[in-house]
């Protein structure tokens, strides 16, 4: 009888033993002291990193009922650049990316989605490009193998196509995903990247997309 009850309890939880922190979004095992420690460390650093203290001069490029998008340019005041750097570090850490040095740091445009709770909940880094290679198809067997290394090796065309805007990073805070924040960031980039024109989806390109990024990009470019 006891075992049966235990089974019911276990089945009721999505991931047995794991907790999702309601403020920082980290998934961890609360019963594991090492995990809990890691959470405490991440929690502080993360919430500090995404905290947004209103800037004296901010370039608001879009406003919504649940937040706004602020554009940061390379010659902006150091407090703005520092925030961008902090957020990018958190994003790169989450994605497991090496810190990349942009090819043209003086041409990078960073778009931050600021929530009403004064937090940076979305970030998009865009840079000018001249060409891109279209993703052809998913390599066969990538679903079954399930390995991360494999699923990132999309097959690309070797015929370059002209493009204008490269999206080197797009990220949305885990607890705010699927609320169209990424979509609104890309819409805003298309509108603001080049003065006076709205870029078509063929003129933008996502560099080295993750599985999440590819799902989003595929959906975005087809609607
Ligand atoms: N799975 C399936 N479809 C998805 C997913 C997903 N994980 N994410 C987005 N979509 C599709 C959906 O159709 C969605 O519309 P719906 O919610 O009405 O069905 C549509 O894209 C629009 O999604 P948004 O809500 O605008 O996307 P969101 O704000 O959740 O952000 C993002 C998407 C940025 C990929 C987010 O999941 C994320 O930050 N992931 C972790 C970081 C990452 O992998 N970033 C991409 C790196 S690649 C690069 O930077 C170039
Ligand atoms: Zn937390």
pLDDT digits 0-9 by tens, 171-222: 999 999 999 999 999 999 999 999 899 999 999 999 888 999 999 999 999 8
User: Which letter does DSSP use for residue 65 in this model?
Assistant: T
Residue 171 beta carbon below 6 angstroms from any ligand 1 atom: yes
Kindly state the greatest CA–CA separation across the chain.
Answer: 71
- Above 70 in pLDDT, residue 5? no
Query: Does the interface ipTM go beyond 0.85?
Result: yes
Q: What is the pLDDT of residue 217?
A: 95
- Above 90 in pLDDT, residue 147? no
Residue 183 beta carbon below 6 angstroms from any ligand 1 atom: yes
Give the pTM. Answer: 0.88
Buried b (16+ CB within 10 A) or exposed e, 9-38: eeeeeeeeeebebeebbbebbeeeeebeee
Q: Token pair of 214, please?
A: 């590819």
Closest residue to atom 19 of ligand 1, CA basis: 178
What is the average pLDDT across 23-35? 91
CA of 123 to the centre of ligand 1 (A): 12
Q: How far is residue 217 from each of residues 133, 206, 210, measured CA to CA in Å?
A: 14, 8, 10
Q: CA–CA separation, 45 vs 40, rounded Å?
A: 9
Q: What is the pLDDT of residue 153?
A: 61
Sorting pLDDT into bands at 50, 70 and 90, what band is 142?
Answer: very low
What is the average pLDDT across 120-143? 82
Closest CA relative to residue 164, chosen from 121, 207, 127: 127
Q: Give the number of whichever ligand sits closest to the CA of residue 21.
A: 2
Q: CA–CA separation, 27 vs 30, rounded Å?
A: 9
Q: How far from chain centre, in Å, is Cα 73?
A: 19
Residue 125 beta carbon below 6 angstroms from any ligand 1 atom: no
Pick 208 or 75 by higher pLDDT. 75
Q: What is the pLDDT of residue 97?
A: 83
CA of 37 to the centre of ligand 2 (A): 11
Residue 174 beta carbon below 6 angstroms from any ligand 1 atom: no
CA of 39 to the centre of ligand 2 (A): 6
Pick 204 or 142 by higher pLDDT. 204
CA of 212 to the centre of ligand 1 (A): 6
Q: Are 147 and 139 in contact (CB under 8 A)?
A: no
CA of 176 to the centre of ligand 2 (A): 14
Q: Are 194 and 200 in contact (CB under 8 A)?
A: no
């Amino acid at each position: 009888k006891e075992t049966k009850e235990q089974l019911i309890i276990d089945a009721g939880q999505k991931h047995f033993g794991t907790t999702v922190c309601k403020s920082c979004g980290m998934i961890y095992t609360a019963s594991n002291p090492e995990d809990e420690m890691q959470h405490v460390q991440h929690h502080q650093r993360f919430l500090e990193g995404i905290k947004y203290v209103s800037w004296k001069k901010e370039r608001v490029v879009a406003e919504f009922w649940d937040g706004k998008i602020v554009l940061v340019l390379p010659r902006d005041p150091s407090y703005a650049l520092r925030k961008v750097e902090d957020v990018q570090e958190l994003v790169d850490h989450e994605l497991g990316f090496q810190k990349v040095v942009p090819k043209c740091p003086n041409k990078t445009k960073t778009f931050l989605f600021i929530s009403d709770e004064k937090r940076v909940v979305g970030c998009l880094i865009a840079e000018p490009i001249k060409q891109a290679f279209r993703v052809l198809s998913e390599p066969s067997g990538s679903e079954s193998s399930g390995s991360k290394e494999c699923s990132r090796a999309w097959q690309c065309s070797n015929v370059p196509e002209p493009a204008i805007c490269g999206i080197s990073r797009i990220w949305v805070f885990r607890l705010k995903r699927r609320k169209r924040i990424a979509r609104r960031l890309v819409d805003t980039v298309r509108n603001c990247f080049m003065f006076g024109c709205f870029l078509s989806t063929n003129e933008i390109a996502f560099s080295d997309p993750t599985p999440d990024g590819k799902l989003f990009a595929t959906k975005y470019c087809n609607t």
